[in-house]
Structure 1
Amino acid sequence: MVCFGDNLNYLPMFEVADEKYAVKNAHEIVLNIADKIIECNNNNGVARYLKSVLQG
């Protein structure tokens, strides 16, 4: 399971996820737990990441 998050309410999902992505403007704790940090949510970080993965 892959998950994306930016705040503390995502921590339970991060605990069970295989891959954890935090946006640049996420809470510091989320940033420290994430496997990778992607573009901030104000710049459509999740959508941009998914587009890059799906386009190969």
Structure 2
Amino acid sequence: MPRKHAERLETEKEPVPTSRQNGSDGGVVVKLGTWLDNVRKRAAKLAGQRLAGLDQLGMRW
């Protein structure tokens, strides 16, 4: 997945105005590519339970 990849998620709740990523229509943009890249770079610092959970989801390191 490219680092710039983002997903728009629709939410049922009122958006919390704490992030520029929140949309005014109740949706939120998740920068999935950035998150994935950061997790891969910091894999050595992740807790064992987090690593195991990501492995179960099929994480490609």
TM-score category (smaller protein): under 0.3
Greater relative contact order structure (CA < 8 Å, 6+ sep): 2
- What is the TM-score with the length of structure 1 in the denominator? 0.24
Q: Which has the larger radius of gyration?
A: 2
More strand by share: 1
- What is the TM-score with the length of structure 2 in the denominator? 0.23
More helix by share: 1
